[in-house]
Structure 1
Amino acid sequence: MSGRQVAALEQLWPVYGLRVADAVPFDSAGPFDPAGLFGRRAPLVLEIGSGMGDTTVEMAAADPDRDYLAVEVHTPGIANLLYLVHLHELRNVRIAEGDALDLVELLPPDSVAAVHVFFPDPWPKSRHHKRRLIQPAHVARLRSRLAVGGTLHCATDWAEYAESMRATLDADPGLVNPHDGYAPRPAHRPVTRFERRALAVGRPIADLIYLRR
């Protein structure tokens, strides 16, 4: 990590950070209430795999009426996001360190306005497909946390994974595709670093946007 990132992690983690392993599960013994992280109750966006944080910061800055909870495992990415959040004086971003699916289990059902999964690892080898995030059991867990009408938005530059995602999302009985196929690229989703690299070598980008019934 750069010196700036090290300093951000040391100084800003206590302000904006949450370790998934330390959070209290959502149950009768002590619910995990995301509103406690932000000091207000607002629609919640879950960003799974925030990378270096540029996209999360840009979207949150343009969307101040919603709160963004970014979950990431890559320490330099977490540190960079902390720095950017502080630099832009954003009040509606918090960063969770740990497994995204463990975090999903902590969230109350029907509590999330949107889930963003932008350019997840495609695990291209067949023997690694079981590690992919977008598969039936995981999608069912994500959907259970979405409020009715909430959005599950995925994007990938890997054509085979895009087809797999679409088949999996189409098969989930609690989701509906308002675009009847791949979605037009939404203007509110910033161009990510992964996307720029993909476009530079001619790989098409697929956006998949589904709503909870």
Structure 2
Amino acid sequence: MPENHSSTAPATSPVPAPARARREPMFPDGPAPDPAGSHHERRIRSFQPRRSRVTPGQGDALRRLWPQWGLDIDGLSRLDLGELFGDPDLPVVLEIGFGMGEATAQMAAADPGTGILACDVHTPGQGNLLGLAERNGLANVRVANGDAIILLREMLAPDSLAGVRVYFPDPWPKKRHHKRRLIQPEFLALAATRLAPGGLLHCATDWEPYAEQMLEVLSASPDFENTQPDGGFAPRPEFRPLTRFEGQGLDKGHVVHDLLFRRRAAR
């Protein structure tokens, strides 16, 4: 009669880890992997979530500081920016995509009278910016995790922003991916509703074809006017720091274009 192995596992069989442990988030009280994924429509996005390696210092900052200075973009409630920054009179600028946060921290330090709501999906960058804010005493920085479109559309009040900054967004260089680029007429129409009249939309890119597209769609928008009398690109303003990434591009011969457009007064 053959030996029955159905009820006894071999002594050398590995013991699988409990399923619950494998699903536990790295930062239980930190940024969620997809905070609005179950609440809003699926659509073509201009970004790809990146959860690369988090250093011990970044992880420590996320664990300690996220409950105080971070927020998930879940699209479920309207933000009170005065309450978020602890000052109802503080002008607030939305920065979409901040990388590792070095330039954001420099701008916050140079202009403590302006709040920066910095939005990104890169977990190491979120932790790095929180750490920079703490080390430099930057009480005017808040970090938002998730889709900037949902933040603008669902969570910010009309005319609530003093500015919007979009520095070096993904150029999506392949023609079939151009529809993923952030600076499109639909985005400009939405951003205009959240910018106060006179609010500044500032874009920068080192990808020349994208720069030309930005200039074209911004110039065609009825909601914005170019700050440059000649209708072209702007020189880099002093308040935008020269980042390490930008310096590397300049060393390679890249040309960086800045675009500064103001929201027109309501007609």
**TM-score range for the pair, normalised by the shorter chain length:** over 0.9
Structure 2 equivalent of residue 19 of structure 1: 72
The question of 1:33 aligning with 2:84 is answered: no
Choose 13-22 or 54-63, whichever is displaced more: 13-22
Structure 1 equivalent of residue 256 of structure 2: 205
**AA aligned opposite 1:150:** G
Aligned-residue CA RMSD (Å): 1.0
The question of 1:95 aligning with 2:143 is answered: yes
TM-aligned CA deviation for residue 198 of structure 1 = 1.1
Structure 2 equivalent of residue 138 of structure 1: 187
**Counterpart pick for 1:183 among 221, 224, 234:** 234
Larger-Rg structure = 2
TM-aligned CA deviation for residue 2 of structure 1 = 1.1
The question of 1:60 aligning with 2:108 is answered: yes
C-alpha distance in 1, partners of 2:77/2:170?
28
| SS of alignment partner, residue 217 of structure 2 | helix
Structure 1 equivalent of residue 3 of structure 2: none
Q: Which runs of 5+ in 1 are unaligned?
A: 26-31
TM-aligned CA deviation for residue 196 of structure 1 = 1.4
Runs of 4+ in 1 over 4 A off after TM superposition: none
How many positions carry a matched residue from both structures?
Answer: 207
TM-score of the pair, normalised by structure 1 = 0.95
C-alpha distance in 2, partners of 1:59/1:144?
24
**AA aligned opposite 1:165:** M
**Counterpart pick for 1:80 among 128, 131, 137:** 128
Structure 1 equivalent of residue 8 of structure 2: none
**Counterpart pick for 1:9 among 52, 55, 62:** 62
- Answer 1 or 2: higher relative contact order, Cα 8 Å, separation at least 6: 1
**AA aligned opposite 2:98:** S
TM-aligned CA deviation for residue 172 of structure 1 = 0.5
Choose 128-137 or 16-25, whichever is displaced more: 16-25
Check whether the contact 1:119–1:194 (CA below 8 A) recurs between aligned residues.
Answer: no
| SS of alignment partner, residue 74 of structure 2 | helix
TM-aligned CA deviation for residue 23 of structure 1 = 5.0
**AA aligned opposite 1:189:** R
